[in-house]
């Protein structure tokens, strides 16, 4: 934990010293958001999750359209909102997670290695909403996204990820 705390403190200083138009600002803000989310996962401190969202939003705002990491930035922000929903149960956070996940999938080419991860994240968010609302359209969409992320649409994703995604969505489908 001390290493993570030190990394956050040092990266905060680096981000503050990085000019707004510097090409590394996006990466530094995104890393800082990931570190805050990681610390939240260790401690459960919602303030860290708020900081993760703030820094992730800043990173996305600093990335111009066409930035090569834009889809990944959007995906990371969606994960932060999904984590906050898991903590608070606030449906606005879940809707924000789904919206970001949809945007990340749409911004990722079909043959990109990260597409499986993004489809899996979207499927998870949709299945979470299904569990909350009982809307069968969410279950169908979650299953479809999970199957695509695990198998047919992405041969570039790692075999382990594709296998895990396929199994997760098969279990979800069978338990309903």
- pLDDT tens for each residue of 128-142: 898 899 888 877 777
**Regions of the chain short of the pLDDT cut 70:** 144-176
Indicate whether 127 and 64 sit together in one domain.
Answer: no
Residue 101 forms part of a structural domain: no
- CA–CA distances in Å: residue 9 to residues 32, 76, 110, 144: 9, 21, 37, 41
Q: Burial of 61 by CB count in 10 Å (0-12 exposed, 13-18 middle, 19+ buried)? A: exposed
Residue 119 pLDDT: 86
Indicate whether 150 and 66 sit together in one domain.
Answer: no
Indicate whether 83 and 143 sit together in one domain.
Answer: no
Residue 162 pLDDT: 58
The CB density around residue 152, as the number of other CB atoms within 10 Å, is 10
- pLDDT tens for each residue of 26-39: 999 999 999 999 99
Indicate whether 54 and 133 sit together in one domain.
Answer: no
Question: What is the rounded distance in angstroms from the CA atom of residue 19 to the CA atom of residue 24?
Answer: 9
> Can you give the CATH number for the domain in which 1 is found?
1.25.40
Residue 67 forms part of a structural domain: yes
DSSP code for 153: T
Residue 19 forms part of a structural domain: yes
Per the structure, the complete domain to which residue 158 belongs is given by: 108-176
**Beta carbons of 108 and 71 less than 8 angstroms apart:** yes
Number of domains in the chain: 2
Indicate whether 32 and 114 sit together in one domain.
Answer: no
């Amino acid at each position: 934990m001390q290493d993570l705390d030190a990394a956050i403190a040092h990266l905060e200083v680096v981000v503050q010293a990085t000019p707004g138009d510097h090409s590394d600002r996006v990466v530094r803000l995104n890393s800082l958001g990931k570190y805050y989310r990681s610390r939240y996962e260790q401690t459960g401190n919602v303030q860290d999750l708020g900081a993760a969202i703030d820094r992730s939003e800043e990173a996305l705002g600093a990335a111009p359209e066409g930035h090569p990491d834009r889809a990944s930035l959007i995906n990371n922000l969606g994960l932060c909102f999904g984590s906050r929903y898991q903590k608070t149960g606030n449906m606005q956070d879940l809707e924000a997670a789904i919206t970001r996940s949809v945007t990340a999938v749409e911004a990722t080419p079909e043959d990109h290695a990260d597409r499986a991860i993004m489809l899996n994240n979207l499927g998870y968010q949709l299945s979470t909403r299904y569990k909350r609302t009982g809307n069968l359209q969410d279950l169908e969409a979650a299953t479809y996204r999970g199957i695509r992320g695990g198998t047919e649409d992405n041969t570039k994703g790692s075999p382990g990820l594709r296998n895990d995604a396929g199994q997760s969505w098969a279990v979800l489908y069978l338990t309903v």
